[in-house]
Amino acid sequence: MKREIKNLILRIFFIIIGSFIHAIAVNALFIPHKLLSGGVTGIAMMLEYLFRIPTSISIVALNIPIFLGGYRFIGKDFTYLSVLGVITSSLFLSLTRSWVIEVNDTIVAAIFGGLIMGIGSGIVIKNRASLGGTDIISITINKFFSFNIGGIGMAINAVILTIAAFLFNVEMAMLTIVAIFVANKAVDAIQEGFNHRKTVIIVSDKHEEIAEELLKKVKRGITFINGEGAYTGKEKKLIYMALTVMELSRTREIVRRIDPAAFLSIIDTREVEGKGFNAGKVLQ
């Protein structure tokens, strides 16, 4: 119980930090250059440019019906922590309203604004919450029509960008695309923890000799997978390993030295958790 409370407190802490970072990107880089974000934040920013309604107020007003409509389709923990994210985001947007990072080039503002925004959003998402908006809309639509959640988000952003191009100018819409792209990459990096690895599957008649040598020289865990050749009908043992990029060349060298005819399948792996890579601890 104590551990659950501790994890919840940590999640709340990081959601608040992520909301603060997100607010800095909006106020310090996006708004001074009349740039937009994606999702509900982008709509709120358009309302500020058009009617001078503070983004902090619009975000809360726009998210209220979204939360009410999507509450039954998303988990309670996710809902409560997302409400926290929206409220703290609105608060920080209000508190940092006068903050400006002096950047003369709008392209630079779009790139670094997207980076900072992505870091903030990524921290919130990693702690299983959101800053409201399109995440909840996408989940709700997915429940009814089974559309891809990522595709729904892209469609919503496409509509927002099209409206922005008509109301303001095409250049704003294009720079917003740059900002959203950078932000999405930053979110991915936060989620993956900069933990890119390689998965290697080795098929060889000398699997025992190769495995023994790899255990000695590479010192990574190995799993044997039973297989059968479709053409020959011969039973085979496949070697399955997760490696760092630096260990890949040494592994390839060992395999080729023992069995030049061995078959290697090298797969990009977004993240590996477990003994030898990281503690594998996930916030509960």
Tell me the pLDDT of the chain (284 aa) as tens digits.
678 888 899 999 999 999 999 999 999 999 999 999 888 999 999 999 999 999 999 999 999 988 887 777 777 788 889 899 999 999 999 999 999 999 999 999 999 999 999 999 989 988 888 887 777 787 777 777 767 666 777 788 888 889 989 989 899 999 999 999 998 888 878 876 656 688 999 999 999 999 999 998 888 889 999 988 887 888 889 999 998 777 888 899 899 999 999 999 999 887 777 766 654 443 33
Q: Are residues 212 and 179 in the same domain?
A: no
Structure token digits, residue 67: 């939360």
Residues 145, 152: Cα–Cα separation, whole Å: 11
Cα 237 to Cα 204, 220, 226, 228, distances in angstroms: 8, 18, 5, 8
pLDDT of residue 239: 95
The answer to whether residue 66 is domain-embedded is yes
Q: Are residues 251 and 141 in the same domain?
A: no
Q: Are residues 8 and 147 in the same domain?
A: yes
Q: Are residues 161 and 203 in the same domain?
A: no
Cα 110 off chain centre by: 19
At what angle are helices 55-70 and 39-51 packed, to 10 degrees? 140
pTM of the full predicted structure? 0.75
Chosen domain end from 192, 216, 242: 192
The total number of structural domains in the chain stands at 2
Domain that holds residue 207: 197-269
Residues 140, 256: Cα–Cα separation, whole Å: 51
Q: Are residues 90 and 209 in the same domain?
A: no
Q: Are residues 49 and 139 in the same domain?
A: yes
Chosen domain end from 147, 169, 192: 192
pLDDT of residue 281: 42
Contact predicate 29/115, CB 8 Å: no
pLDDT of residue 280: 44
**Total residue count of the chain as it appears in this document:** 284
pLDDT of residue 275: 67
Structure token digits, residue 66: 């979204």
**Phi and psi (nearest 5°) for 242?**
-110, 130
Residues 15, 229: Cα–Cα separation, whole Å: 50
For the four alpha carbons of 268, 270, 273 and 277, in that order, the dihedral sign comes to positive
pLDDT of residue 152: 77
